[in-house]
Amino acid sequence: MAHPDILIRARGLTKRFGDFVAVDGIDFELSRGEVFGFLGPNGAGKSSTMRMIGCVSPPSGGELTILGLDPVRHGPQIRAKLGVVPQEDTLDVELTVRENLLVYGRYFGLRREEIRDRTAKLLDFVQLTERAGDQVDPLSGGMKRRLTIARSLISEPEILLLDEPTTGLDPQARHVVWDRLYRLKQQGVTLVLTTHYMDEAEQLCDRLVVMDRGKIAAEGSPRRLIETYSTPEVLELRFALHEQEQAAEKLADLPAERLEVLADRVLVYAQDGDEALAAVRGRGLAPVTSLVRRSTLEDVFLRLTGRQLED
């Protein structure tokens, strides 16, 4: 039997749609109490992986064990212990906020009184108590997402799955969602999330895998990934459009670890960004703007795949 604290174990997990391989033989493990992330651009296979974990998409190959059970044979038993926040809102917009939780709680076989108690607490948690009797339709995107999170928690799940939890939200609404998710993390809820926002992954995840084209490119804590695949600091340089190419040539032998020439800027990966900037200026180059910052997961992704995360 599996180790009791390993909640999900995948070995060579694969998902094919016809000839297209969405998930190409990935391995990962999820431990109790951790926040685990799948970071990658759109089309990396994150959502397909989440659907397999959610037992609504049978794997095409490999092994997948969730809570010690086989998702194909024990879907209902596993799903009874999962909370799911899908990428696209699936709330019943014709019902009220409270009715949405009632309907969902009943799906899990909970008693009405139980649902009523939990609804009060959950609506308080997602700051929607005042909207309890309102129809869902007119709620803002951020409110709907919070309601979806409340709905996913009605069954007190052992694992909470969040597929792109803040995609499509404005920055303020996103921060409110992050704050709630951070509180769940503090309460020790096991979270699995997919995201293509590196700041989301960095803030929330204890551990993550970087996914690209159906494969796992790297795995580790955000800090560890940055240490392994990037330099402590990054110097971002913007040049006048016609000068960028020339400038990049002159920078080629800069005492930096790595240089990335993007469409609109040049990234200089260095131990010390200010030192690198001084070296740039020393070569007589005058960037329009220059910025020294710390490395992020975006840089890790760029290093691993040669592409940017967010388009």
Partner 1 sequence: MARAYAVRQLRFWLTNYRRTWKGSIYSEVLSPVLYLGAMGLGLGAMIDKHGTASLGHVSYLAFLAPGLLAATAMQTAMGESTYPVYGSVKWLKTYQAAISTPLRPADLFHGHLLWTTLRLAMGSAVFLVVMTAFGAVRSPWALACLPAAVLTGLAFAAPIEAYAMTCSKETSFALLFRFGVIPLFLFSGTFFPVTQLPAVVRPLAYITPLWHGVALCRSLSLGDAQLGSSAVHVAYLVAVVAAGIYAGQRTYRRRLYA
Residue ranges that bind partner 1, judged by CB under 8 A:
17, 51, 54, 56-58, 75-77, 79-80, 82, 84, 86, 88-95, 99, 102-104, 106-109, 151, 155
In the complex, minimum distance from the CB of residue 297 to partner 1, in angstroms, rounded to a whole number: 28
Q: Closer CB to partner 1, residue 31 or residue 135? A: 135
Assess contact for 262 and 288: CB atoms under 8 A.
Answer: no
User: Residue 12 has which token pair?
Assistant: 């060579």
Q: Closer CB to partner 1, residue 52 or residue 226? A: 52
In the complex, minimum distance from the CB of residue 51 to partner 1, in angstroms, rounded to a whole number: 8
In the complex, minimum distance from the CB of residue 192 to partner 1, in angstroms, rounded to a whole number: 13
Assess contact for 92 and 99: CB atoms under 8 A.
Answer: yes
Chain centroid to Cα 17, Å, comes to: 23
Assess contact for 64 and 76: CB atoms under 8 A.
Answer: no
Sheet harboring 159-163: ordered strands across? 82-85, 159-163, 190-195, 35-39, 207-212, 215-220
Residues 6+ apart with CB under 8 A from 2: 9, 65, 68
Q: Closer CB to partner 1, residue 56 or residue 286? A: 56
Q: Which residue has the tokens 């290093």?
A: 303
Q: Closer CB to partner 1, residue 71 or residue 142? A: 71
Q: Closer CB to partner 1, residue 51 or residue 146? A: 51
In the complex, minimum distance from the CB of residue 57 to partner 1, in angstroms, rounded to a whole number: 6
In the complex, minimum distance from the CB of residue 95 to partner 1, in angstroms, rounded to a whole number: 7
Assess contact for 149 and 183: CB atoms under 8 A.
Answer: no
Reported as type and span, the H/E element at residue 175 is helix 171-186
Q: Closer CB to partner 1, residue 17 or residue 182? A: 17
In the complex, minimum distance from the CB of residue 210 to partner 1, in angstroms, rounded to a whole number: 25
Residue 64: left if φ>0, alpha if ψ -120 to 50, beta else—which one?
A: beta
